[in-house]
Amino acid sequence: MQVYQKHQKGFTLIELMVVIVIIGILATIGIAILLNIQERAYIDTLKSDLLAAYKASVVYHTENPDGVITIDILKEHGYSQSKKVNLNIVDGSADGLEITATHPGVHGVYQVDKDGRISKQ
């Protein structure tokens, strides 16, 4: 009696599992990098909004040294709010200006002071 053996070409279950694990690791690294890039873009948006709000407040306070800014006043003086950015005026006076901003995609609160310095709280 003759025994016939088939020489099959293909992948074993172990080889397929190793490939799936490697793909999973690469996907995890890719997602982490993508989320980091996305958060940096949101931070740049926050900083841009804070700088625009600061510049609008400087224009307003040049015309009204004793005035206090509001969001509406900022908009009248050139400020345009980006999507999902929440701007809060902590102190709207010229001497103690402080504006904060948050974004759902960013951890923490960013602020601009009376000298135009932007920092994370």
CA distances in angstroms from 19 to 15, 24, 34, 101, listed in the order given: 6, 9, 22, 44
The pLDDT value recorded for residue 113 is 95
pTM: 0.74
Give 63: exposed, middle or buried? Use CB within 10 Å, 0-12, 13-18, 19+: exposed
The pLDDT value recorded for residue 12 is 86
CB 74 within 8 A of CB 67: no
* pLDDT tens-digit map of 32-91: 888 789 899 999 999 999 999 999 999 999 999 999 999 999 999 999 999 999 999 999
